[in-house]
Amino acid sequence: MLKAMRKNVKQLSPILWIVIGAFIITIFAVWGGGVRSGEGGPADTLISIGKEKISAQFYIESLRQRLEAMQREFKELNRNLIQQLNIPQQILQQIIQQSLLLQTAQNMNISASAGEVREKIISYPVFQRDGKFIGFQEYKRILTWNRISIAEFEESLRKEIIIDKLIKSLTAGIAITQEELWENYKNENETARLEYVVVEADKIEFKETPPDSETREYFEKNKENYQIPEKREGLLVFLNMEDIKGEIELADSEIEKYYEDNISQFKEPEKMRISRIYLPYEDKEKEMVRAEAQNMLDKINAGEDFGDLAIKNSKDEKAQESGDWGLYDWRRLSPEEQEKIKELSKGDISEILELPEGVSIIKMTEKEPEITKSLEEVRQRIKSILEDQKSRQIAEDRISRLEKRARKEKSLEAAAQKTGFEVKTTGLLKEKEAFEDIDTSGSISQTLFALEEKEISSLINTFKGIGIAQLEKIDPPRQANLEEVKNDVEEDFTAVKKKEKALEKIKKIKAEVKSKSLEELAEKYNAEYKTVNEHKRGQYLGIIAENKEVDKLAFSLSLKEVSEPVEFENGYSLVRTLDRKEVTKEDFEKDKEKERENLLEVKRNKFFQSYMLKLREEREVKIKYDLFLKINSDILSRFEGED
């Protein structure tokens, strides 16, 4: 696809390039690969959805392809960024959702005809030129260049059509009443200008230590709030990868091979820093704007500073930064400007560029060619990657052998003693509680909560290594006694007292409101005074957060009237409405159909989200999280150190 499109690059915006890339990757990630289920038996199954089994290999290919696509767009992609964006979890959930929808569509006998697939193909913008389908030969060439078979691509479209039909079928019955539409219209379009005073309980001074008698009385009245959750204890054998790395000796040939096989990881793309002066036409005559631009271009050519002229004259978001669009932001510029940028060398200034809404002048501030880092420059990084991979594989092999022996002995401790492994007890852990510094994500405790008593787990993957556990003890949930939670009770009791004092203070402010302004009273009583110009119902309101009572008062109080104290989670507030913008039925009638479509879309989305949650429960979606973590660790290790 991309090869054919490059022939007509002037017709493609940067955003469309991203869409094309994401579109092709989605085809592979969701539908392609051919290793979806039934490959290699249950041991290779990552996801079970009812009777359907989705292989680990399918997930691996999906994740790799998504990351490779991201690398093409984000050259500085590294492990930390991937984890922050939660890409592995996104891919996992996408696969599950698509599978659930296709199962449901099959049960409802929803299908797609060859004609529907054909219409889908010819309507895709990437297969059109000048509003017409590019023709079968060009279509075939695009797919061939991207190594996608026509059958594979059209099958993906067939499934896309089926899912679209299913969603429309599921949401077809969703309707909106006239009253509901009117209320939503008011919520979205009515605003109130408010001032308010806030007294936060956290900021109330309360240094008294509550008497034991009051603490006990408070505990007895609120006993149901103090529960000791279920805890579990297990025996654990854990191999830390850092400990194993000392055993590993890497040959230079291994490092060299990794470098050659993964050379794309070590490329630094061409760097171009762009500056721009932009003059919009606005209400001016185009010739006048062009003349202004020519005057500036003449000054630049005469030696005046490009950045100074940009600050004084340019009319875009980067004007006050001397027109500097940096190394990356310039990729958002128009196709005409992008094309000109390709022709410029370092220090070059473009001619005046004609754009749909104005004119621009482009300067190539910096330009560095693409380079590939030498083996010596990245040797340490490769060494670290290979050591991680090998140490994890060694740990997995050793724990796998221990697992077989432990199952035979029916005892992890006995098997560990015979094979020389150290066994430690986890102590009582809550579900998802971290264990020491070897498992900050809580994978070990989560595994214990999935076991029956005396059951031995499969391999447990954490960021630092691999382990195996046997559940030894279950401490069921129970009511706490006062001594176990005394500190918590004292904190809660103190919080109640502080809130009572906050209410006393806000009442004093209310009592004096006729003699002084809210702002003056806030200063007098060391409270916080705030204003908001356009408050809407359901809007987050600073310290108060979302509050239905404030919303009600904002649109019902008489103007300039101060409310009674309004409680929120951490204190109390007084609210006064200074002005309101209200809508009329006439306004509503003008925008009614547009509002109906917007609200329908919101309701459909909410329904669909709820439907998917219910579907997951009904179809018994099961995920092998230990395998999921191991796969992610293996794949993400190649992105280590790319900061």
Per-residue pLDDT reduced to its tens digit, 314-365: 999 899 999 999 887 888 888 889 889 989 999 999 999 999 889 999 999 9
According to the model, what pLDDT value does residue 269 have? 75
| Residue at 258 is within a domain | no
pLDDT exceeds cutoff 90 at 80: no
Q: What are phi and psi of 286, to 5 degrees?
A: -60, -40
pLDDT exceeds cutoff 70 at 6: no
Query: What's the rounded Cα separation, in Å, for the pair 130 and 624?
Result: 49
Same domain as 343, residue 416: no
Number of domains into which the chain is organized: 4
Average pLDDT over residues 77-83: 81
Last residue of a domain, one of 336, 369, 402: 369
| Residue at 550 is within a domain | yes
CATH number of domain containing 275 = 3.10.50.40
Cβ pair 618, 106 in contact under 8 A: no
Average pLDDT over residues 605-632: 86
Query: What's the rounded Cα separation, in Å, for the pair 19 and 411?
Result: 54
Best CA proximity match to 218, nearest among 497, 425, 515, 426: 497
| Residue at 591 is within a domain | no
Query: What's the rounded Cα separation, in Å, for the pair 588 and 542?
Result: 30
Same domain as 549, residue 521: yes
HSE-CB of 122 using CA atoms within 13 angstroms: 10
| pLDDT-derived band at 633, boundaries 50, 70, 90 | confident
| Residue at 588 is within a domain | no
pTM score = 0.55
Same domain as 92, residue 123: yes
Helices (DSSP H) in 12-55: which residue ranges? Answer: 14-26
Best CA proximity match to 113, nearest among 171, 149, 154: 154
Q: What are phi and psi of 575, to 5 degrees?
A: -125, 140
pLDDT exceeds cutoff 90 at 100: yes
CATH number of domain containing 75 = 1.10.4030
Same domain as 532, residue 494: yes
Average pLDDT over residues 239-260: 92
Question: By residue range, what is the domain housing residue 85?
Answer: 2-173+606-639
Query: What's the rounded Cα separation, in Å, for the pair 270 and 371?
Result: 7
Q: 554-574 pLDDT, tens per residue?
A: 999 999 999 999 999 999 999
Cβ pair 469, 235 in contact under 8 A: yes
| Residue at 595 is within a domain | no
| Residue at 263 is within a domain | no
Q: State the burial class of residue 634 (Cβ atoms within 10 Å of its Cβ: 0-12, 13-18, 19+).
A: middle
337 residue type, one letter: E
Same domain as 556, residue 466: no
Higher pLDDT, 330 or 43: 330
Best CA proximity match to 409, nearest among 427, 423, 397: 423
Same domain as 623, residue 570: no
* 514 SS3 class: coil
Cβ pair 160, 152 in contact under 8 A: no
Provide the phi-psi class of 313: left if phi over 0, else alpha when psi is between -120 and 50, else beta. alpha
Cβ pair 237, 395 in contact under 8 A: no
| pLDDT-derived band at 146, boundaries 50, 70, 90 | low
According to the model, what pLDDT value does residue 73 have? 67
According to the model, what pLDDT value does residue 34 have? 34
Cβ pair 29, 153 in contact under 8 A: no
Same domain as 45, residue 101: yes
Same domain as 526, residue 463: no
Distances, alpha carbon 227 to alpha carbons 223, 230, 446, in Å: 8, 9, 20
Average pLDDT over residues 76-101: 87
CATH number of domain containing 431 = 3.10.50
Question: Strand pairing partners for 191?
Answer: 581
pLDDT exceeds cutoff 80 at 10: no
| pLDDT-derived band at 33, boundaries 50, 70, 90 | very low
Same domain as 356, residue 380: no
HSE-CB of 441 using CA atoms within 13 angstroms: 12
Same domain as 148, residue 290: no
Same domain as 386, residue 242: yes
Last residue of a domain, one of 479, 497, 515: 479
| Residue at 36 is within a domain | yes
HSE-CB of 558 using CA atoms within 13 angstroms: 1
Same domain as 157, residue 26: yes
| pLDDT-derived band at 15, boundaries 50, 70, 90 | very low
**Per-residue burial over 20-34, b = 16 or more CB atoms within 10 Å of its CB, e = otherwise:** bbeebbbbbbbbbbe
| Residue at 512 is within a domain | yes
Last residue of a domain, one of 539, 566, 581: 581
